[in-house]
Structure 1
Amino acid sequence: MAQNPPDLGDRALSKVVELGIATQLDRSEEIEVDIRTNPVNFIQGKLDSVEISGKGVVVKQDLRVENIQIDTDEVSIDPLKAVFGNIKLTHPTEAEARIILTEADINHAFSCEYIQSKLRGLKMELDGQPVTIDIQQASLDLPGENQFVISTTFLLREQNAVKKMSATAIPQIDEDGNRISLEILAAQGEGLNLKLVMVIIEQLTALLDLRNFDLPGVSLQLHQLEAQLGKLVIHAKSQIAQIPTI
């Protein structure tokens, strides 16, 4: 349904929220907030809708998000606080969120120091012997048809041997709705076993824990994935306990 253009009050509230969200991010190319209400509803403590969109948003762990969109229906607020720019929710509200990650941005995150530190010193058993693994390089290809292709180069410290692995997998949603897991379709590499493949895959997909995208007062629960050509589209339910403001 088409909405009327925002008035000065709507735009002022929207700008306050935009600034508040911007302070919670490492950086962003664009943040837009569209709050819609009318004087009668506002006095009664109601916002008709809130739309938050961002482009080139960088969140935890140096992970860049190509696009993020969060849409709510009616939101209950404290109108007296809102007059002074503090949009305080009187109870949590539900929202829909859509997040787009590009193949290039995921691969950039794999190379950042925080993620690299998580990929070193992995302990497991290989052929009944304890081994320590350092993942030296990792890349993700998104060929479409809801598939991931992950390629890695890793060091087996005890053997001082560098090995390579690639795996084709289908992304799935963990039961808690926070993380993406992968169903392995095929794997190739020297001296591999299933446990080794799963340890490496688990460490790499930890990057895609939705809690990495949470803003203060906003939590996400994943409910649909689309692994498209060159990008991953995440659909999530969002619960908003508080809208960030400055």
Structure 2
Amino acid sequence: MFGGLTGLTDPKGTDWGERMLNTVASQTIRHLFTKSESIEVFVRCYPSSKLLQGSIDSFKMSGRGLVIRKDFAVEEMSFETDAVAIDFGSVLSGKLNLKQPTQAIAQVVLSEEGINQSFQAELVRNRLVNLSLPALTALSGGKPVSFSEIKVQLLPQNRLKLWAKADLNNGELVPLNMTVTIAVERRRRISFQNPEVELEQVPEAQREMSKTLSLALAEILDNMVDLDRFDLDGVKMRLNRLETEGKRLIFSGYAEIERIPRSG
């Protein structure tokens, strides 16, 4: 085995050490996701003798059709590191462990359909039901208010169209309709800014309530989407920018990788 690690190549010229690392890394990465359509991992380590000291030149991963924590769909995800120090012994046992933390350039692409599906996730729904904020309960006679049937449409220039229903817990459902700007704050939070409430399709008797409830929902969402709540164990995502492109929302930034997580 050690002889192979110091330079054996297959007929296509692929280094044996790289192939072994690619296999181990692919198996490790797949376990991070509940579901994956495809995952490709490219580990560069030349010559393979460097692997004996736990040094690899770069690590690249790209995946499509990924699902995180059973409910959060990611259309595409990719990241790439520079040189990385790993535990060579862990590779021989079929695992991939880092000797020290590292950073990777990262890009995440969400689809409009995937974003809408995420609003059905229990983690999200639980933060939108039975809310007892004073601004809301003043409209419902002191009863908690819930938001449901949330649907979004991605617009150019980082804008988002949002529809929802507010349940006042008194038998009345109030339709909500607004457009917001989405932006990155502190590299980890998705901010919902400058809400523009649209009332043309709301019954006249509910328009004032619809406006108040829409602004309240925008504020709730503004404080809810924090990447630290969705981090994989040992990996923190940090965002530099986001961009809407057709029916896709593209995030670019970097990942702080303290250790390779065992599950997503």
Conservation of the 8 A alpha-carbon contact between 1:13 and 1:35: yes
Which position in structure 2 is the counterpart of 1:111? 120
Task: Choose which of 148, 152, 167 in structure 2 pairs with 1:155.
Answer: 167
Q: Could you tell me how far 1:21 is from its partner in structure 2?
A: 2.1
Q: Larger radius of gyration, structure 1 or 2?
A: 2
Deviations 1:189-239 (A, max 9, x none): 422477633431344466743235533322111111112221110112111
Q: 1:165 to 1:23 in 2, by over 3 A?
A: same
Aligned CA distance change for structure 1 residues 197 and 78 (closer, same or farther; 3 Å): same
Match of 2:156 in 1: 144
For residues 195 and 73 of structure 2, the distance between their equivalents in structure 1, rounded to whole angstroms, comes to 28
Which one of the candidate residues 198, 202, 210 is aligned to 1:188? 198
Name the SS of the counterpart of 2:237 in structure 1. Answer: strand
Aligned match of 2:88: 79
The question of 1:165 aligning with 2:176 is answered: yes
SS of corresponding position for 1:105:
helix
Conserved? CA contact 1:144–1:230, under 8 Å: no
Give the TM-score taking structure 1 as reference length. 0.86
| Contiguous gaps of at least 5 residues in structure 2 | 1-11, 200-206
Would the aligned equivalents of 1:70 and 1:95 in 2 still touch at CA under 8 Å?
yes
Q: Is the 8 A contact 1:17 1:243 kept in 2?
A: no
Rounded to whole Å, the distance in 2 between the matches of 1:104 and 1:201 is 20
CA distance in 2, matches of 1:192, 1:71: 48
Equivalent in the alignment of 2:7: none
Match of 2:17 in 1: 9
Distance in 2 separating the partners of 1:194 and 1:93: 46
Partner of 1:51: 60
CA contact (8 A) 1:61 1:109 kept: no
- Alignment of 1:40 with 2:73, yes or no, is no
What corresponds to 1:230 in structure 2? 247
Alignment of 1:16-31 (within 5 A): 16-31=24-39
**Contact kept in structure 1, 2:136 and 2:213, CA below 8 Å:** no
Structure 2 residue identity aligned to 1:29: E
Say which is worse superposed, 4-13 or 97-106, in terms of deviation: 4-13
Alignment match of 2:102 (pick from 93, 96, 102): 93
CA positional deviation for 1:7: 2.2
The alpha-carbon deviation at position 11 of structure 1 amounts to: 1.9
Change beyond 3 A, Cα 1:213–1:30: farther
In the alignment, the residues of structure 2 paired with residue 122 and residue 155 of structure 1 have an alpha-carbon distance, to the nearest angstrom, of 10
Q: Percent same amino acid among aligned pairs?
A: 27
Task: Choose between structure 1 and 2: higher strand proportion.
Answer: 1
| Structure 1, unaligned runs of 5 or more | none
Q: What per-residue deviation string (whole Å, max 9, x for no partner) do you get for residues 121-173 of structure 1?
A: 1122348824521112101110222111111111112x432111112111122
Q: Which moved more, 1:65-74 or 1:228-237?
A: 228-237
What secondary structure does 1:21 align onto?
A: helix
Q: How large is the RMSD of aligned CA atoms in angstroms? A: 2.6
Amino acid at match of 1:109: S
Residue 209 of structure 1 is matched in structure 2 by 226
Q: What are the Cα deviations for residues 2-56 of structure 1, in whole angstroms up to 9, with x where unaligned?
A: xx97423212212212212222321111122111102232233211000111111
